[in-house]
Chain A
Amino acid sequence: MSVSEMLNIGMMQGFAGLSLFAVLLLMGLGLAIIFGQMGVINMAHGEFMTIGAYTIYLFSTITENHFPKLVQSYFIFAIIAAFFIAFAVGWFIEWSLIRHLYKRPLDTLLATWGISLGMQQIFRSFIGPKEVSPTLPDWLMGSWSPHEGLDIPINGMFVMALTLVVTGGVLLALYKSRWGLRVRATVANRTMANAIGINTKKTDRLTFAIGCGIAGIAGAAFTTIGSTGPTSGSLYIVDAFLVVTFGGAASLLGTMASAFGIAQMQSISEFFMTGSMARVITLLTIVLILMMRPQGLFASKIRR
């Protein structure tokens, strides 16, 4: 094997890691907002991702059957719809359940696990236990080969671009918008935020819903690299939580760094050993590092 071939394989493996990075980051971003900013453990986060993925599938089926001309462009609208459907479900769940449990984080964990079970069974009963994949538009298919022997899949690049846009959007919203200001104020000091006239209840609900909406987008990204089943989301939930804790719960920058680290470590070690061992090694490393440094990579400076 020549050096250039090794380089090509390395780059392609690295790129495969980037796809995983994109899904983990999108999942982690939603969680980081919900868990890091609000302290709510949302075990149903994976199911919000599944909602997003099924939304894409729904749009794909509808366009194929009724508007075959739009097949090339439905995907963009479907992503937006995925966000808003997950957003709406998140809004409803915050209103009906989560808001009663803010003072009991461990109980939120159990309740949202119940939601996750229920949602999985809803998917299974009403959509079907089989895995589905949407028909992707032609421009997402194929690969781009800048030179001989190096193939980079276009859907991977699309997912990366989507992730960058969403991440940028979240950062912008959190640090430049009124909503972001309210969220940061509420996180820093709930009582004071309340006292100066911020409606913290409304802020919480919006924050939770936005986090869920981002999980919906993660689901949309997920459809381009895998097929969706009722339990697809739950496969990523532990990894997503590790991404957030590893990065340092309140830090979005940390979430990005740790998603990148975990995905690349997983992908690169997969090249040397079996997939399951790669996963064991990756998870074990993270857990060990978390034991040594429980506050994560980027610790928040806020005193709790």
Chain B
Amino acid sequence: MISKLLSSLKTWIDQRGLNGFIILAILLAVVFPLAMDSFRLNLVGKYLTYGFVAIGLVMAWGYGGVLSLGQGVFFGLGGYAMAMFLKLEASDPISTKIQSTPGIPDFMDWNQITALPIWWEPFRHLPFALLAVLVVPTLLAFIISFAMFKRRVGGVYFAIITQAVALILTVLIIGQQGYTGGVNGITDLKTMLGWDTRTNSAKYILYFVTVALLLASIYGCQWIQKSKLGTLLLAMRDKEDRVRFSGYDVAMFKVFAFCLAAFLSAIGGALFTLQVGFMSASFVGIVPSIEMVIFAAVGGRMSLVGAVYGTLLVNFGKTYFSESFPDLWLFLMAALFIGVVMAFPDGLAGLWESHIKGWLARGRAALRKPKNPDAPPSQIVQPDADVMTMQEIGSPPLARSASGSPRVPSGAGMQVSGIQGQSA
């Protein structure tokens, strides 16, 4: 009875493609909190907020073929919306009484602003701030992508425009320091609704909130990938015209992919602000935005779980190298950019698919054989069946397999080929 239950659980896990997901969940929710002190755990929590951006990019870039070089904009907007609420709470009239105008954020006071600007006012309320975190970046993403994709502009032009948007927002934030805190950003964030976010226990709680939201996002994205929508996104990435001629509104699918990425980035940004305790323009600009792309690329642009590993790996590397060998880090980063494009375009997930997994399966098969030499053929094929399901989990049906031949998704009903996105 129990074994039957277990096996049905196993088939459910295999079907839903949850193997990698469960390993990641155990790693993040059990292994890391047990193995690390609160400082390192907070660091991981910070990296995981970039993970939101990375999985957003997997959906938009890997699946939708929409490369955005401006994810920092959405990350930043989400973070700033959160920071504005926390800052207003931190600058109540009592704790800011030494200012010439008590009750407004300190940087406004330093910049001779005497009254809270009107657009800061609603951020006194948490529900509004949370709504702004989710809505403002998504709306901006919608406006940008709708204008571009409806005119059938895509590919590199879109990338350049998003990059310009990142530049504009950075210059604007730095230039308007009376309203935004300028280069320093919004700092000294203390409490959320009276709950001190700087204590160790709060850091633990925030870490687990981040992990839970991240896992939920991955689950949601996996669900999208498996749905008809996911298949359409892939088909659109590979042969846009065919999807269009089949009667689908290609532009709106791209808009959706981009908005989803922006939405996820904004959640990451808000969580970043909560965990790190400040938000500044240095997370908005061109350089951080393009670094976020490399997180996704290293992990594997087609793999949600891989993107999280990529984010963790690159950020650990960055922290380690920029502390120990600051000169070396940029060279390494350069090598990473070039290597990920030239040598392993599918990132860590791709390496896993093409090298390690086959090796593992062979190892398992070799282990099983000597034990029961009279085993029925079904058991010997078992590892292969595993590989099949794993392939559906990790890499999408259309990813280039090791042999380079594109695979057609089941039920898509159309021949889809080609590799990467298309230019304008």
- Distance in Å from the Cβ of A166 to the closest Cβ of chain B? 24
A181 sits at the interface (CB 8 A)? no
A101 sits at the interface (CB 8 A)? yes
Question: Chain B residues near A238 (CB, 8 Å)?
Answer: 160, 163-164, 167, 286
B330 sits at the interface (CB 8 A)? yes
- Distance in Å from the Cβ of B154 to the closest Cβ of chain A? 10
Central interface residue in B67, B147, B171, by most chain A CB within 10 Å? B171
A121 sits at the interface (CB 8 A)? yes
B331 touches A294 (CB 8 A): no
Question: Chain A residues near B156 (CB, 8 Å)?
Answer: 39, 41, 105-106, 109
Nearest-neighbor residue (CB-CB) of B327 within chain A = A125
Interface residues in B372-424 (C-beta closer than 8 Å to A): 419-421, 423-424
The count of residues in chain A whose C-beta lies closer than 8 Å to any C-beta of chain B is 42
A290 touches B294 (CB 8 A): no
Tell me whether A106 and B161 are in contact in the complex, defined as CB-CB below 8 angstroms, given that A111-B341, A274-B175, A280-B168 are known contacts. Answer: no
Interface flags, A116-130, vs B, CB<8A=1, else 0: 111011001100000
Nearest-neighbor residue (CB-CB) of B164 within chain A = A287
Nearest-neighbor residue (CB-CB) of A35 within chain B = B156
Give the complex CA separation of A85 and B241 in angstroms: 43
Question: Chain A residues near B290 (CB, 8 Å)?
Answer: 110, 113
Interface flags, A243-275, vs B, CB<8A=1, else 0: 001000000000000000000000000000010
B335 touches A110 (CB 8 A): no
Question: Chain A residues near B165 (CB, 8 Å)?
Answer: 287
Tell me whether A100 and B342 are in contact in the complex, defined as CB-CB below 8 angstroms, given that A117-B337, A276-B171, A291-B148 are known contacts. Answer: yes
A304 sits at the interface (CB 8 A)? yes
Give the complex CA separation of A41 and B61 in angstroms: 17
Nearest-neighbor residue (CB-CB) of B166 within chain A = A238
Tell me whether A39 and B423 are in contact in the complex, defined as CB-CB below 8 angstroms, given that A238-B163, A241-B160 are known contacts. Answer: yes
Tell me whether A118 and B335 are in contact in the complex, defined as CB-CB below 8 angstroms, given that A113-B290, A238-B164, A283-B168 are known contacts. Answer: yes
B159 touches A280 (CB 8 A): no
Per a CB cutoff under 8 Å, which of B167, B174, B330 touches A117? B330
- Distance in Å from the Cβ of B239 to the closest Cβ of chain A? 15
B297 sits at the interface (CB 8 A)? yes
Question: Chain B residues near A39 (CB, 8 Å)?
Answer: 156, 423
Question: Chain B residues near A304 (CB, 8 Å)?
Answer: 423-424
Interface size class of B (residues with CB under 8 A): 35 or more
Interface residues in A90-121 (C-beta closer than 8 Å to B): 97, 100-101, 103-111, 113-118, 120-121
B147 touches A291 (CB 8 A): yes
- Distance in Å from the Cβ of A93 to the closest Cβ of chain B? 10
A106 touches B159 (CB 8 A): yes
A114 touches B167 (CB 8 A): no
Nearest-neighbor residue (CB-CB) of B175 within chain A = A276
B345 touches A107 (CB 8 A): yes
Give the complex CA separation of A198 and B379 in angstroms: 59
B338 sits at the interface (CB 8 A)? yes
Question: Chain B residues near A104 (CB, 8 Å)?
Answer: 341, 419-420
Looking at chain A's contact residues, the main secondary structure is helix
A113 touches B153 (CB 8 A): no
B345 touches A245 (CB 8 A): no
Question: Chain B residues near A280 (CB, 8 Å)?
Answer: 168, 171-172, 175
A106 touches B337 (CB 8 A): no
Per a CB cutoff under 8 Å, which of B159, B161, B338 touches A290? B161
Give the complex CA separation of A245 and B293 in angstroms: 22
B159 touches A283 (CB 8 A): no
Question: Chain A residues near B4 (CB, 8 Å)?
Answer: none
B336 sits at the interface (CB 8 A)? yes
Nearest-neighbor residue (CB-CB) of A231 within chain B = B287
Give the complex CA separation of A291 and B151 in angstroms: 8
Question: Chain B residues near A109 (CB, 8 Å)?
Answer: 67, 69, 156, 159
Question: Chain B residues near A205 (CB, 8 Å)?
Answer: none
A106 touches B330 (CB 8 A): no
Per a CB cutoff under 8 Å, which of A106, A107, A117, A279 touches B333? A117
Give the complex CA separation of A264 and B6 in angstroms: 71
- Distance in Å from the Cβ of B163 to the closest Cβ of chain A? 6
B340 sits at the interface (CB 8 A)? yes
B175 touches A111 (CB 8 A): no
Question: Chain B residues near A121 (CB, 8 Å)?
Answer: 327, 330-331, 334
Residues of chain B touching chain A, judged by Cβ–Cβ distance below 8 Å, are: 61, 67, 69, 144, 147-148, 151, 153, 155-157, 159-161, 163-165, 167-168, 171-172, 174-175, 286, 290, 293-294, 297, 327, 330-331, 333-338, 340-342, 345, 419-421, 423-424
List the 4 closest pairs (A to B, CB-CB), nearest first: A114-B337, A276-B175, A118-B334, A121-B330
Residues of chain A touching chain B, judged by Cβ–Cβ distance below 8 Å, are: 39, 41, 97, 100-101, 103-111, 113-118, 120-121, 124-125, 238, 241-242, 245, 274, 276-277, 279-280, 283-284, 286-287, 290-292, 294, 304
Q: Can you list 6 A-B contacts with CB-CB less than 8 angstroms, sorted by A residue number?
A: A111-B337, A111-B338, A125-B327, A291-B161, A294-B148, A294-B151
Contacts A109-B156, A110-B290, A292-B147 supplied; 13 other A-B pairs, CB < 8 Å: A39-B423, A104-B419, A104-B420, A108-B341, A114-B333, A114-B335, A114-B338, A276-B172, A276-B174, A277-B175, A279-B171, A284-B168, A287-B168
